Amino acid sequence: MKKASLFLGFVLLLGLSCARIPEDTPQNWYSEGAAIATKAVNTDKDASPESFIVKLGGSSEVSGILAIAGVKSVEPLFPSTPGNEELEQRFGMDRWFEVTLEDPQSLQDVAGTAASLDCVARLEFNTVAARPKVLSEPVGVQDLPATKASADDFSLFNDPQLSNQWHYINTGDKTISKNVYAGGDISVKDVWKDITCGDHSIIVAVIDEGVKYTHPDLADAMWTNSAEIPGNGIDDDGNGYIDDIHGYNFVDKGEISWTKNGDGGHGTHTAGTIGAVNNNGIGVAGVAGGSGKGDGVQLMSCQIFSGNGGGTVAQVAKAIKYAADNGASLISCSFGYGGGTFTSDGAYRSYGGAEYEAMLYFQSKRNNPVVDGGIIIFSAGNDGLPYAGYPGALENVISVSAVGPDYLPTYYTNYGPGCKIAAPGGEAGQPVASGGYSVRAEVLSTFPSELEQNGGDYAYMQGTSMACPHVTGVAALGIAYAMKLGKHYTVDEFNSMIVSSAKDIDTRINAFSTKTVVYSSGNTYKTLKMSDFYHKIGTGCIDAWSLMMKIEGIPCSTVAIGENQWIDLSPYFGTSSTSLTYTGLEINDEARAALGLKKDPELRNGRLYIDATKIGSAKMTINAVGGGSAIGTETTIGGMAISREISVMTRGFAATGGGWL
């Protein structure tokens, strides 16, 4: 017997119904391309056979759909959250419904009949998004040595495996890769030291496999729904989800899981990069994991993959709206449709109705005092194609390509149009100086011990999936700092600051004609032509220090390590900077140490000369006189005192032709 949904009573009470089903509706509507198929924006290829989704024309008329033979239930796709009704209606969240079938074999027939109803404006098959592409098996960290680097590089936090996280602090250790590049990281060390380590009021939703919320390095970072009573089987807060304590499992409709057959630890790994607890004496560090004082970001697990299932349009869309309604400021999405599925924003928008509208809803939901909506970050894809996969390729979404410890594009990364910025994604198969290859060229993060062969809580993985959470973590640090400064931005403004907060990769790419890596268990060599990636790896690699300076409003100048490097001061003092009288420079010991200065910088003819020996970032203040050679006094005529704070970043090389100074 057909099981009607609980929503049916409400519908019948209102006396609403769809138009009658035409008697001549073809049963094989899809295969024959009947006219009613124009309401279907996609096909049933790669779609769940158990349900499809519809958008009604303006009201909740579902009784006609329930009357179709083979329909088991019709439920609102998006549970309404108290207090958000106006926003839900603005974005049509109240008009989407999921139709579940009694028999999966009847998908085309039932969908065709539903599409013929006047009240149905749009029909979408429940297409499955590409699961995260596993490029290599996760490798645990048991008995791996620390990197051979000075203690100063890793002394800020006491997390023992921080020295193996080259993607945060790359010292140029050749036991990681023969071609390792010092400074090929996200430039976060000085941000942690001088600016911010995060803010616990910021919630980041990880839309992925389930996050192991009991993990020793994640438990204290997990978002907790205080309005929900664990394990009582009741939706205590009325948000449409039962027992959603640390997020929700949208696949199995219940508790978050991470140990089903087919789970790969992917969600736990990406979550650790964003917010593993810092300075807690165990494991690894997270980009926005705090300083050990409970000030790291909160992690919300929005599970859309479980075992070998999940990833449908309905599950993704629900997860995005859930994140918005429960306080998330950012969503980190290390998944997407396979490269080439869509080739333009218009093609994706015309297809991805429920999913896309959920993203627009998220971008309009203000969950912090800094940005007027949510920030969406996707991985660019691991297909090695010259364009990003969707949804990340959308113009209003940040998509992330990947570089390795050699600070060059990885063999698997998508690049080109749609790829907004890059970040470390790791790359197995990079040769080391002593011969052979090291797993440490991949990205180290948290991992479910239940899935690791030796029962370890940490593992190395690689992919744009690993690059994506680096940018998410840096963005979370940016919101934390902007909150401290009382800054306010639109979503577009903040996205623009993230994407423009990048350090040059093209100069590094230009230094190589090719690079060769080994992959597929060491049996296959792949040679990459570096010119293919020139100007196509986004704006460059995310630079945490640069983002903080943009938020602070201080221009950044970048110089290469070495003697007699100089910085043009006209961006700070105007085009007449060469005619000013400079009265001094203020720099503290921390800044000297960060840049490895041999001596204090000197001011000569409108330039700041600097001899740096270390990759780092620091601020200093330059004092000058405008309108005279000295400041006016009670007895003499003179000029005005001018003081400008500047930010200096030292890197291993400097770009030419409009790049780094």
User: Within 13 Å and on the Cβ side, how many CA atoms surround 257?
Assistant: 18
Name the band, by pLDDT with cuts 50, 70 and 90, for residue 657: very low
Q: Distance between CA atoms of 176 and 165, rounded to whole angstroms? A: 10
Q: Report pLDDT for 347.
A: 87
In tens, the pLDDT along 220-250 reads 999 999 999 998 999 999 899 999 999 999 9
Q: Report pLDDT for 407.
A: 97
For the cut 50, the answer to whether the pLDDT of residue 20 exceeds it is no
Name the band, by pLDDT with cuts 50, 70 and 90, for residue 30: very low
What is the phi-psi region of residue 211: left when phi exceeds 0, alpha when psi lies from -120 to 50, beta otherwise?
A: beta
More confident of the two residues 659 and 284: 284
Q: Which pairing describes strands 524-529 and 458-461: parallel, antiparallel, or unpaired?
A: unpaired
Task: Tell me what the mean pLDDT of segment 319-347 comes to.
Answer: 92
Task: Tell me what the mean pLDDT of segment 425-445 comes to.
Answer: 88
Q: How many residues does the chain have?
A: 661
- Say what the pTM is: 0.89
Task: Tell me what the mean pLDDT of segment 129-143 comes to.
Answer: 67
Contact 463, 175 (CB under 8 A): no
Residue-wise DSSP of 206-273: EEEEPP-TT-TTTGGGB---TTS-TTSSS-TT-SS-TT-SSEEETTTTBS----STT--SHHHHHHHH
For the cut 50, the answer to whether the pLDDT of residue 47 exceeds it is yes
Among 2-16, 301-315, 380-394, 613-627, which stretch is predicted with the lowest mean pLDDT? 2-16
Q: Distance between CA atoms of 631 and 641, rounded to whole angstroms? A: 6
Q: Distance between CA atoms of 190 and 169, rounded to whole angstroms? A: 10
Q: Report pLDDT for 133.
A: 62
DSSP one-letter code for 94: G
**Residue 508: phi, psi to the nearest 5?**
-65, -45
Q: Which two tokens stand for residue 172?
A: 């140029």
For the cut 50, the answer to whether the pLDDT of residue 317 exceeds it is yes
Name the band, by pLDDT with cuts 50, 70 and 90, for residue 660: very low
Q: Report pLDDT for 24.
A: 37
Q: Report pLDDT for 638.
A: 67
For the cut 90, the answer to whether the pLDDT of residue 449 exceeds it is yes
Task: Tell me what the mean pLDDT of segment 393-410 comes to.
Answer: 96
Most confident of 259-273, 350-364, 551-565: 259-273
Q: What percent of the chain has pLDDT over 70?
A: 89
| Of 263, 101, 191, 234, residue with least CA distance to 484 | 191
Adjacent-strand bridge partners of 609: 566, 602
Q: Report pLDDT for 505.
A: 93
For the cut 60, the answer to whether the pLDDT of residue 95 exceeds it is yes
Q: Report pLDDT for 34.
A: 43
Q: Report pLDDT for 132.
A: 64
Q: Which two tokens stand for residue 497?
A: 């600051």
Name the band, by pLDDT with cuts 50, 70 and 90, for residue 27: very low
Q: Report pLDDT for 127.
A: 87
More confident of the two residues 307 and 37: 307
Q: Which pairing describes strands 298-306 and 120-127: parallel, antiparallel, or unpaired?
A: unpaired
3-state secondary structure (DSSP) of residue 604: strand
Name the band, by pLDDT with cuts 50, 70 and 90, for residue 5: very low
| Of 600, 582, 557, residue with least CA distance to 643 | 582
Q: Report pLDDT for 6.
A: 31
For the cut 50, the answer to whether the pLDDT of residue 148 exceeds it is no
Residue type, 459: A
Contact 268, 221 (CB under 8 A): no
Q: Which two tokens stand for residue 276?
A: 């593993």
Contact 616, 150 (CB under 8 A): no
Q: Report pLDDT for 455.
A: 76
Q: Report pLDDT for 151.
A: 58
Give residues with Cβ within 8 angstroms of 153, minimum separation 6: 163, 169, 171, 189
For the cut 50, the answer to whether the pLDDT of residue 659 exceeds it is no
For 477-613, strand residue ranges (E) read 502-503, 514-519, 524-529, 541-542, 556-560, 562-568, 581-586, 602-604, 607-612
Name the band, by pLDDT with cuts 50, 70 and 90, for residue 350: confident
Q: Report pLDDT for 222.
A: 98
Task: Tell me what the mean pLDDT of segment 142-152 comes to.
Answer: 52
Burial class (CB in 10 A: 0-12, 13-18, 19+), 152: exposed
**Residue 167: phi, psi to the nearest 5?**
-70, -15
Task: Tell me what the mean pLDDT of segment 347-372 comes to.
Answer: 92
Residue type, 617: S
Most confident of 31-45, 186-200, 341-355, 624-638: 186-200
Q: Before 391, cis peptide (omega within 30)?
A: yes
Q: Report pLDDT for 654.
A: 52
Q: What is the mean pLDDT of the chain?
A: 87
| Of 343, 495, 348, 477, residue with least CA distance to 420 | 495
Name the band, by pLDDT with cuts 50, 70 and 90, for residue 33: very low
Task: Tell me what the mean pLDDT of segment 204-217 comes to.
Answer: 98
**Residue 544: phi, psi to the nearest 5?**
-60, -40
In tens, the pLDDT along 283-292 reads 999 999 999 9
Q: Distance between CA atoms of 542 and 478, rounded to whole angstroms? A: 12
Among 125-139, 464-478, 602-616, 635-649, which stretch is predicted with the lowest mean pLDDT? 125-139
Residue type, 502: A
More confident of the two residues 550 and 339: 550
Q: Distance between CA atoms of 400 and 313, rounded to whole angstroms? A: 22
Among 25-34, 84-93, 455-464, 521-530, which stretch is predicted with the lowest mean pLDDT? 25-34
Q: Report pLDDT for 653.
A: 63
Q: Which pairing describes strands 203-209 and 298-306: parallel, antiparallel, or unpaired?
A: parallel
Among 25-39, 458-472, 493-507, which stretch is predicted with the lowest mean pLDDT? 25-39
More confident of the two residues 233 and 61: 233
Q: Report pLDDT for 581.
A: 87
Contact 277, 221 (CB under 8 A): yes
Rounded alpha-carbon distances, angstroms, from residue 633 to 577, 622, 624, 625: 23, 21, 15, 13
Q: What CA dihedral angle connects 268, 271, 275 and 278, to 10 degrees?
A: 30
Contact 76, 121 (CB under 8 A): no
More confident of the two residues 570 and 647: 647
Rg of the chain taking only CA atoms, in angstroms:
27
| Of 266, 254, 259, residue with least CA distance to 307 | 259
For the cut 50, the answer to whether the pLDDT of residue 298 exceeds it is yes
Q: Distance between CA atoms of 70 and 651, rounded to whole angstroms? A: 64
